[in-house]
Amino acid sequence: MSLANNAVGFRFNPTEAELACHYLYNKVMGLPLSCPYIVQDYDLYGHEEPWQIWENFGEHNNTTSDDEDDDEVEAGPSPQDDLFFFTNLRKINRGMKSSKFDRGVGSNGGRWHGDDVHSFHSKGITWNRRRYCYKNPNIGTPDASWIMLEYSLDDSLMQNVPHYTVLCRIRKKSNKNCSRKRKSSQSSSQLEPKRQSKKLNSKLRTPPIKEKKLFM
């Protein structure tokens, strides 16, 4: 079921604690969700690239974000679109006690590269958040970049569950605005030394010497 089937004017704008302690916790523990079709089940580590996932689900997306996580997930009055999914992580070495998961995505060498893990404790539940960026050395510079925030429960809560399920929040960020900002900052920085040199030259100029006529 698509998000477009929700009530007119509805916006899904949860806090991070609500995502982890209600949606993810209830999903993992088999408890009912208040809005079961908002966060959809989908294999984010399958054969589809992030832009293909965005094309499939982003058209009817009806979500809003106001978190102040980092430069990629910005706060502000204008709403920004996010996609929310439940996905199961796959360990690199199946059947072995390993905590490393396969972060490969698509079929062209792309991977999600993560930052440090941040842990939180809300409503008696310990949960983690980690930020990922999609990188692929086999493609050129794309017009957009994909950022993913992954919410997971503490390992103590995942002992007796069949799948290691996490909640992922994906955002598309345009690289065109970034390049424009870089160009404008570079052009302004290049103009500044010229202005300063003009000021220095004006200060260093010596006034013309007036000849004095001597009357005998």
The pLDDT tens digits of the residues spanning 12-21 come to: 889 999 999 9
Reading the block at residue 11, the tokens are 């916006």
Higher pLDDT, 116 or 200: 116
What are the C-alpha distances in Å from 113 to residues 132, 134, 148, 151?
5, 6, 10, 15
Q: Quick check: 73 pLDDT over 50?
A: no
Q: Quick check: 93 pLDDT over 80?
A: no
Q: For the residues 73-99, what does the mean pLDDT come to?
A: 66
Phi, psi of 132 (to 5 degrees): -125, 150
**What is the model's pLDDT at position 104?**
87
- Region of poorest pLDDT, from 29-33, 53-57, 70-74: 70-74
**What is the model's pLDDT at position 176?**
58
Q: With the CA atoms of 40, 161, 21 and 90 taken in that order, what torsion angle do they form, in degrees rounded to the nearest 10?
A: -50
Q: In which residue are the tokens 């982003």 written?
A: 58
Higher pLDDT, 95 or 55: 55
**What is the model's pLDDT at position 187?**
47
**What is the model's pLDDT at position 214?**
44
Q: For the residues 78-104, what does the mean pLDDT come to?
A: 75
Q: Quick check: 110 pLDDT over 80?
A: yes
Taken in order 195, 197, 202, 208, the sign of the CA dihedral is negative
The pLDDT tens digits of the residues spanning 132-160 come to: 999 988 887 666 689 999 999 999 999 88
Q: For the residues 181-208, what does the mean pLDDT come to?
A: 48
**What is the model's pLDDT at position 117?**
95
Query: What type of residue sits at position 189?
Result: S
Residues sharing a CB contact under 8 Å with residue 205, sequence separation 6 or more, in sequence order = none
Rounded to an integer, what distance in angstroms lies between the CA atom of residue 89 and that of residue 7? 32
Higher pLDDT, 173 or 194: 173
Mean pLDDT over all residues of the chain?
75
Residues sharing a CB contact under 8 Å with residue 112, sequence separation 6 or more, in sequence order = 103, 105, 132, 133, 134, 148
Confidence of residue 95 (pLDDT cuts 50, 70, 90): low
**What is the model's pLDDT at position 138?**
85
Kindly state the percentage of the chain with pLDDT values over 90.
Answer: 39
* pTM, full prediction: 0.69
